C-alpha cells in the first residue's frame, strides 16, 4: 500500500524542492562542503595513522657497545636481548662496516681526513614491535651498563608525529562538529521554507483526511535527497581531489607512504555518504516534527 504511494511522495518532494530552488541548492552545497571537510579529515587521519605506524616500524634503537667487550661477550649479550619480549629484530653492526658506511656518506664533508682512525664502537641495531614500548625498552637496556655505552633512538621524531596527529584529529573533530551543526541548521531551515510554502496544501490535506505521516513523508524524502546529492558531490570531489593531491605529493616526495588502498578509501567514502544522508534526513525530521505537530 505504502509502496505504491512511493512515486506520489517522491513527486511531491521534487515539487517542493523546485519551489524553493535556491534554498535547496544552498543546502546541497553546504552539506557537500561540510562532507568534503569531514572526508578530508578522515583521509588525513588514516594517512597519519599509517605514517606513524610505518615510522614506528622504521624506528631504530642503536646500542653502542663498550670498547672493552670481547666477541663472545657481545654474542652472549645479543642472545640475551633477543629473548626479550617486544623485540622485532636485532642486527649486529661491526664497527668497521659502520665506519666504511660513515666514510661513504660523509666523504664530501672532509671530516674523514681529520679523524683518521676509526672512532666508532661495535653496535647493535634493534627494532621494537610497538612504538609505545620504545621508552621502557631503552631504559631497560641502559641498565646493562657492563655492555652498553650509550643508547640512541629516534624518539623525538616519533613523538612529534604522534602529537601532530593527535592535534590534527582534535582540530578535525571540533571543525567537523561545528560544520555539522551549522549544516543541520541550514537543512532544517530549507525544509521549513518548503513546509511554509505548502501550508495551504498541507491544511487541505488535513481536511481530506491525510495522516501526519502522509503529510511528513515528502519532506523527509526531500531531506534524504538533499543529503544524498550533497554526499555524491562530496565523494566525487574527494576521490578526484585525493587522487590528484596524492599523485602530486608522490611525484615530488616518492617515499611518502600515502594510503591508496581501494578498500580503505571506499570505507571512508561510505562513511561520508552515510553521514551526509543521515544529516539530510535528521534536518528534515527536526523541521517537520517541529512544524507539523498536529493542528486542527
Partner 1 sequence: MIELKQVHKNYDNGHVALEDISLVIGRNEFVYLIGPSGAGKSTLLKLIFRSELPTSGEIIIDRFLLSRIANRQVPYLRRSIGMIFQDYKLLPRRTVYENVAFALSVMHFPRKKIRRQVCHVLELVGLEQKMDRMPHQLSGGEQQKICIARAIVNNPPILLCDEPTGNLDPDTSWEIVQLLTKINARQTTVVMATHDTEIVDGIPKRVVAMEKGRIMRDQQLGGYIE
Q: Do the Cβ atoms of 121 and 65 come closer than 8 Å? A: yes
Residue choice 110, 116, 145, 208 for contact with partner 1 (CB under 8 A): 208
Which of 243, 205, 244, 198 lies closest to 222 in space, CA to CA?
198
**How many chain residues touch partner 1 (CB under 8 A)?**
20
The least distance separating partner 1 from the CB of residue 5, rounded to whole angstroms, comes to: 6
Contact mark string toward partner 1, 210..249, x via CB under 8 A: xxx-x-----------------------------------
In the bound state with partner 1, the residue whose beta carbon lies nearer, of 215 and 272, is: 215
Cell of 149: 655505552
Which of 243, 180, 272, 233 lies closest to 29 in space, CA to CA?
233
In the bound state with partner 1, the residue whose beta carbon lies nearer, of 208 and 262, is: 208
In the bound state with partner 1, the residue whose beta carbon lies nearer, of 212 and 237, is: 212
Residue choice 70, 110, 116, 294 for contact with partner 1 (CB under 8 A): 294
Q: Do the Cβ atoms of 20 and 195 come closer than 8 Å? A: no
Strand, helix or coil for residue 62: strand
Say how far apart CA 147 and CA 140 lie, in whole Å.
13
Q: How distant is the alpha carbon of residue 92 from its chain centre?
A: 37
In the bound state with partner 1, the residue whose beta carbon lies nearer, of 157 and 204, is: 204
In the bound state with partner 1, the residue whose beta carbon lies nearer, of 12 and 131, is: 12
Q: Do the Cβ atoms of 123 and 64 come closer than 8 Å? A: yes
Question: Which 1-40 residues touch partner 1, going by CB under 8 A?
Answer: 1-2, 4-5, 8
Question: Which 185-204 residues touch partner 1, going by CB under 8 A?
Answer: 200-201, 203-204
Sorted by sequence, the CB contacts under 8 Å of residue 294 that are 6+ apart come out as: 212
In the bound state with partner 1, the residue whose beta carbon lies nearer, of 11 and 130, is: 11
Sequence-ordered strand ranges (E) for 53-109: 61-65, 87-93
| Residue range at the interface with partner 1 (CB under 8 A); choices 85-93, 114-122, 187-195, 206-214 | 206-214
Chain contacts with partner 1 (rule: CB under 8 A):
1-2, 4-5, 8, 200-201, 203-212, 214, 294, 296
Amino acid at each position: 500500500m505504502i509502496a505504491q504511494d512511493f512515486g506520489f511522495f517522491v513527486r511531491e518532494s521534487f515539487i517542493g524542492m523546485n519551489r524553493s530552488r535556491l534554498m535547496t541548492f544552498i543546502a546541497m552545497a553546504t552539506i557537500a562542503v561540510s562532507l568534503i571537510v569531514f572526508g578530508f579529515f578522515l583521509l588525513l587521519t588514516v594517512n597519519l595513522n599509517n605514517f606513524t605506524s610505518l615510522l614506528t616500524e622504521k624506528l631504530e634503537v642503536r646500542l653502542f657497545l663498550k670498547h672493552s667487550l670481547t666477541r663472545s661477550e657481545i654474542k652472549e649479550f645479543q642472545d640475551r636481548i633477543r629473548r626479550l619480549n617486544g623485540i622485532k629484530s636485532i642486527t649486529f653492526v661491526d664497527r668497521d662496516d659502520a665506519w666504511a658506511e660513515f666514510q661513504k656518506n660523509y666523504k664530501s664533508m672532509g671530516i674523514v681526513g681529520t679523524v683518521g682512525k676509526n672512532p666508532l664502537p661495535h653496535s647493535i641495531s634493534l627494532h621494537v614491535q610497538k612504538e609505545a614500548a620504545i621508552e621502557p625498552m631503552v631504559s631497560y637496556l641502559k641498565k646493562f651498563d657492563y655492555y652498553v655505552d650509550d643508547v640512541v633512538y629516534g624518539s623525538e621524531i616519533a613523538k612529534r608525529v604522534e602529537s601532530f596527529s593527535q592535534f590534527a584529529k582534535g582540530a578535525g573533530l571540533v571543525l567537523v562538529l561545528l560544520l555539522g551543526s551549522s549544516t543541520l541548521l541550514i537543512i532544517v531551515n530549507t525544509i521549513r521554507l518548503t513546509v511554509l510554502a505548502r501550508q495551504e496544501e498541507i491544511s487541505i490535506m488535513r481536511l481530506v483526511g491525510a495522516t501526519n505521516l502522509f503529510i511528513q513523508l515528502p519532506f523527509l524524502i526531500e531531506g534524504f535527497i538533499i543529503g544524498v546529492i550533497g554526499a555524491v558531490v562530496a565523494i566525487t570531489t574527494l576521490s578526484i581531489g585525493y587522487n590528484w593531491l596524492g599523485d602530486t605529493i608522490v611525484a615530488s616526495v616518492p617515499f611518502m607512504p600515502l594510503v591508496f588502498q581501494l578498500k580503505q578509501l571506499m570505507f571512508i567514502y561510505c562513511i561520508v555518504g552515510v553521514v551526509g544522508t543521515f544529516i539530510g534526513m535528521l534536518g528534515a525530521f527536526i523541521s517537520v516534527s517541529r512544524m507539523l505537530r498536529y493542528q486542527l
